[in-house]
Amino acid sequence: MAVGGSLRAEIERAGGIKAAGAVGVRRAMEAAIERFLDQVFGPHGNQAEFVAPEGDALYQDLMIRGYSLGLGKAAGGLGLGTPAPYPDRNGPAVRNLITSGFERLSDQGRIRLGDRIIDQTSSVLADGLRAGMNPIDLGQQLSDQFDAYKRWEFDRLARTELAFSHTKGIADEYAAEGVQRRPETEDPPYHPNCTCSLTTDENGLVVPDVSSTACEICQAMRVR
């Protein structure tokens, strides 16, 4: 999925690497990252903007869809016959879901994803300027690394956050139907890109659903 603004376009707006210098290129980088964050998260200056329905973007839509799928999976597993209804965007369950997402992704009330992208791409800029690289070549390398990292970061974010919302939907549906949990059960995901979920055991209790081929971290979460 293509997301975010082009770093190359922002550098061109700044007049190119040679004209803009290191400070100008960093500002261009920050502008491109902000466009990327706007597209993924919508308004994200604070928690209220992030959670408000008016600001829904890719992230909020992903979380709600994952939550709905989780509700449906749990309802089907319990033999309820009909899928759980699509969750109310203004209801407390969805607001709590998106609020918890903001808390995971933020630091002191600010989405921290952009800082990681800057850290990953700034070294290319600094090394290229020190080495006296041709501005055109440096701009291409910087843009390519930014775009590649941006895609990787979005894919990783999407997989992990979808796992959170999907598992939350399963857990909420089980709770709504009065299904008890094994006391030691911890909800996945247990790490980025985790594919574990929740299920019920032979006694009808909620337990982690961990594949036999899962990593050691996940295997350790099995309820014995």
190-213 pLDDT per residue, tens: 998 898 999 999 999 999 999 888
pLDDT for 213 equals 85
Alpha-carbon gap, residue 136 to 204, rounded angstroms: 63
pLDDT for 165 equals 95
pLDDT for 168 equals 95
Average pLDDT, the chain: 81
Q: How many residues does the chain have?
A: 224
Q: How confident is the model at residue 19 (pLDDT cuts 50, 70, 90)?
A: low
Q: How confident is the model at residue 96 (pLDDT cuts 50, 70, 90)?
A: very high
Angle between helices 92-105 and 58-77 (to 10 degrees): 120
pLDDT for 84 equals 64
104 vs 82, residue with greater confidence = 104
CB 72 within 8 A of CB 84: yes
Task: Summarize the confidence of residues 45-55 as an average pLDDT.
Answer: 88
Alpha-carbon gap, residue 185 to 198, rounded angstroms: 9
